[in-house]
């Protein structure tokens, strides 16, 4: 069974939904002594099955499977849909990819998604955006799977500990991708990783992993010195050779170093952090559907932008440290991080 003590390198490559976490990326990190994670949020059980079969041929290292805890969103009324659609039409980009409306299901059924998990039994199972049913946590633990859940506040961390999860992923406001806040309508304090770790470490007994803006070994050492058992890094891995991110996405992170990173809900209906681009600027303050139906509404447009190499209309999720992303293999990245952690500088 997984324990943080057995990690050769205290780094979890973050789960990143949307095709970034290929079996090659996950296996490379696991083989290098860290944890490789799949972001399975939007994937069908067949795809999950195929990815887990593939990864087991590539590594015997630590593998994490990650899911979103979606809340059911009723299909929104025609007039609300019409407003969200006309906001996209005003962009005057890839008009043929904007649907006339959205239809359920907006996300896969979690019980279906988990069926290959019970069969393949990855070492770790993590959840983002909320707490799954207690029976899921109990089942995972009963078969030796280590369970973690993202927290963005002390209250969420307390709820995670109470439900019986094994560890917390503390997500600071520096982090790229979707905010893991359980109730998107509640007030978000947007605590920095440092403030969140201080609050969690003095009140919570279960292990905690730090996430948000971590790009090098010096920063990892600092987060570990604050009591974290490991770190979770997403943005640092997006530009790795094995990552499935589009070439234009990688190029934007590597070259548009002066871009701002901002929270936007225009792509999915829920706040997520990424590079500011034309889509984000033009959609500011415009009508969107609820999460994740807005994701369905924009998926054609985003995919079209990715396949045609247009970084201005893709969701370029990235954390505050994106300008230090390195374009190397994941194996190399983990080994550099390991050296940086053991160096005496900083």
> Which stretches of 17-123 are assigned E, i.e. beta strand?
35-39, 62-68
- Is 219 a binding residue for ligand FMN by CB under 6 A? The answer is no
- From the CB of 16, what's the least distance to ligand FMN, in Å? 3
- Please choose, out of 153-161, 202-210, 276-284, 318-326, the segment that lies near ligand FMN by the rule CB under 6 A: 318-326
What binding mask, one character per residue, do residues 137-156 give for ligand FMN by CB under 6 A, x or -? Answer: -------------x------
Q: Are strands 208-211 and 177-178 parallel, antiparallel or unpaired?
A: unpaired
- Is 108 a binding residue for ligand FMN by CB under 6 A? The answer is no
Strand partners, 223: none
DSSP 259: P
- Is 45 a binding residue for ligand FMN by CB under 6 A? The answer is no
- Is 211 a binding residue for ligand FMN by CB under 6 A? The answer is yes
Give φ, ψ of 36 to 5 degrees.
-95, 135
- Segment 76 to 105, residues that bind ligand FMN, using CB under 6 A: none
- From the CB of 235, what's the least distance to ligand FMN, in Å? 3
- Is 318 a binding residue for ligand FMN by CB under 6 A? The answer is yes
- Is 275 a binding residue for ligand FMN by CB under 6 A? The answer is no
CA 52 – CA 63 distance, rounded (Å): 9
Per-residue exposure over 126-163, b if at least 16 CB sit within 10 Å of its own CB, e if not: bbbbbbbeeebbebbbeeebbbbbbbbbbebbebbbeb
- From the CB of 212, what's the least distance to ligand FMN, in Å? 5
Q: Which two tokens stand for residue 219?
A: 């920063």
- Is 317 a binding residue for ligand FMN by CB under 6 A? The answer is yes
| Contact between residue 91 and residue 279 where contact means Cβ atoms under 8 Å apart | yes
* Residues lying near ligand FMN in the complex (CB under 6 A): 14-17, 20, 39, 41, 66, 128, 150, 171, 174-177, 211-214, 232-236, 238, 317-319, 321
């Amino acid at each position: 069974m997984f324990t943080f003590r057995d990690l050769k390198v205290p780094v979890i490559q973050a789960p990143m939904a949307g095709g970034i976490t290929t079996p090659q990326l996950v296996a490379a990190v696991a083989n290098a002594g860290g944890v490789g994670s799949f972001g399975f949020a939007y994937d069908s059980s067949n795809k999950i099955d195929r990815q887990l079969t593939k990864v087991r041929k590539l590594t015997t290292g630590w593998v994490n499977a990650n899911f979103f805890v979606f809340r059911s969103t009723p299909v929104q009324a025609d007039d609300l849909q019409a407003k969200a659609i006309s906001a996209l039409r005003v962009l005057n980009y890839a008009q043929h990819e904007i649907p006339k409306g959205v239809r359920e299901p907006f996300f896969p059924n979690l019980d279906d998604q988990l069926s290959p998990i019970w069969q393949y039994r990855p070492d770790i199972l993590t959840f983002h955006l909320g707490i799954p049913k207690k029976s899921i946590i109990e089942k995972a633990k009963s078969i030796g799977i280590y369970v973690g859940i993202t927290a963005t506040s002390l209250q969420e961390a307390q709820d995670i500990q109470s439900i019986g999860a094994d560890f917390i992923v503390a997500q600071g406001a520096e982090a790229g991708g979707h905010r893991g806040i359980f109730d998107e309508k509640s007030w978000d304090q947007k605590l920095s990783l440092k403030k969140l770790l201080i609050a969690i470490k003095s009140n919570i007994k279960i292990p905690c992993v730090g996430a948000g803006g971590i790009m090098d070994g010096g920063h990892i050492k600092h987060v570990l010195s604050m009591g974290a058992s490991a770190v979770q890094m997403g943005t640092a891995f997006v530009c790795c050779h094995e990552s499935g991110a589009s070439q234009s996405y990688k190029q934007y992170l590597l070259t548009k170093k002066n871009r701002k990173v901002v929270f936007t809900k225009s792509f999915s209906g829920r706040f997520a952090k990424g590079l500011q681009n034309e889509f984000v600027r033009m959609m500011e303050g415009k009508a969107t559907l609820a999460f994740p139906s807005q994701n369905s509404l924009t998926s054609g447009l985003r995919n079209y932008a990715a396949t045609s190499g247009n970084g201005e209309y893709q969701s370029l999720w990235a954390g505050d440290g994106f300008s230090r992303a390195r374009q190397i293999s994941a194996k190399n990245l983990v080994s550099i991080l390991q050296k940086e952690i053991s160096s005496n500088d900083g």
